[in-house]
Amino acid sequence: MLSKRARYAIKALLFLYENKEKTPISAKLISENENIPYKFLENILRELRQSKILKSERGAGGGYRFSKEPSEITIADIIRIIDGPIALIPCVSLNFYEKCDECDDEATCKIKKLFVQLRTEMLPILNKSLVEVERL
Amino acid sequence: MLSKRARYAIKALLFLYENKEKTPISAKLISENENIPYKFLENILRELRQSKILKSERGAGGGYRFSKEPSEITIADIIRIIDGPIALIPCVSLNFYEKCDECDDEATCKIKKLFVQLRTEMLPILNKSLVEVERL
DNA sequence: TTTATATCATATAAATTTGGTAGGATAAAT
DNA sequence: ATTTATCCTACCAAATTTATATGATATAAA
């Protein structure tokens, strides 16, 4: 399961996209509209900014706007930034690979084969951009 | 990501299937062959027994054997027993549904639609039985 | 009948992750 | 100056994860 952080991040970014004409949008506004604890959201937004998804403007009237095109930001990107791997086991992760410690031979491992298949089915869905998700 | 418990459970059951002629198989044997901490494995096997996946025989020469046909035990079953939901968010889970607290309208929620799609793609892969996985 | 081999059950514990909160510094508009 | 914001670090409680410990119970075999 996704963490609440990741779910909040997706909701916040989708809200930002749906209201992108009003930019910049403050954390307070997002927090109130999406029922996300304010201080928690601040942390999440900072993480998204540091990952170059968002940029921010300080001071009164400030807030957040996209740093990349929303059509170039995918759900998979967001999950990877906030939660880490998409794959269900580390040895089949493309971006967070870790060797299987209890596995004698990764080349023949049946479990690995299954979870590679799974990841391969998951990725096209999660590679949808904010724009595409909004149109669902 | 799956927990280690779930990964151990899958490995243990696959080992049991691959050695099913030698039943019953002791926790000790599985533990040594699959590098799973013995006492941790005992807990996992107990959970699988309580969920009717396995049955056990006590005393010397005892151990575990399948209670259901391996062709009827799927990876999804095992994950659900050990870790819970397959779905990445609770409001799209078939077996562990929970209402979205920050969601005003589940019927129109774009995020929900995406994660329903995802679950729908994931399930056929994870519904593979131990027999099918062994043949991969 | 003792011994070795097992499962069964419950409790404990350390480490990590999760889901926040607190307080204050900094920046900009009014 | 005041208000509205982001920025940053640190902290914290609760839950979860990954085990370990202890002992009871059951069975086969010596």
Average pLDDT, chain A: 95
Q: Backbone dihedral region of A74: left (phi > 0), alpha (psi from -120 to 50 degrees) or beta?
A: beta
At residue B102, the pLDDT reads 74
**Chain A neighbors of B126, CB-CB under 8 A:** 118
Whether the ω angle into residue B70 lies within 30 degrees of 0, i.e. cis, is no
* DSSP secondary structure string for all residues of A6-24: HHHHHHHHHHHHHTGGG-S
- Answer yes or no: is pLDDT of B54 > 80: yes
**What's the whole-number mean pLDDT along residues A90-100?**
93
At residue A39, the pLDDT reads 97
**Nearest C-alpha in A relative to B119:** A122
A18-54 pLDDT, tens digit each:
999 988 999 999 999 999 999 999 999 999 999 999 9
The helix/strand count (H/E) of chain A reads as 6, 2
Distance from residue B43's CA to nucleotide C11's C1', rounded to whole Å? 13
Whether the ω angle into residue B24 lies within 30 degrees of 0, i.e. cis, is yes
At residue A91, the pLDDT reads 95
Give residue B103's pLDDT band: very low, low, confident or very high (50, 70, 90): confident
List the single residue in B89, B110, B126 with the smallest CB-CB distance to A133.
Answer: B110
Is residue B132 within 8 A of residue B75, CB to CB? The reply is no
**Chain A neighbors of B7, CB-CB under 8 A:** 89, 102, 111
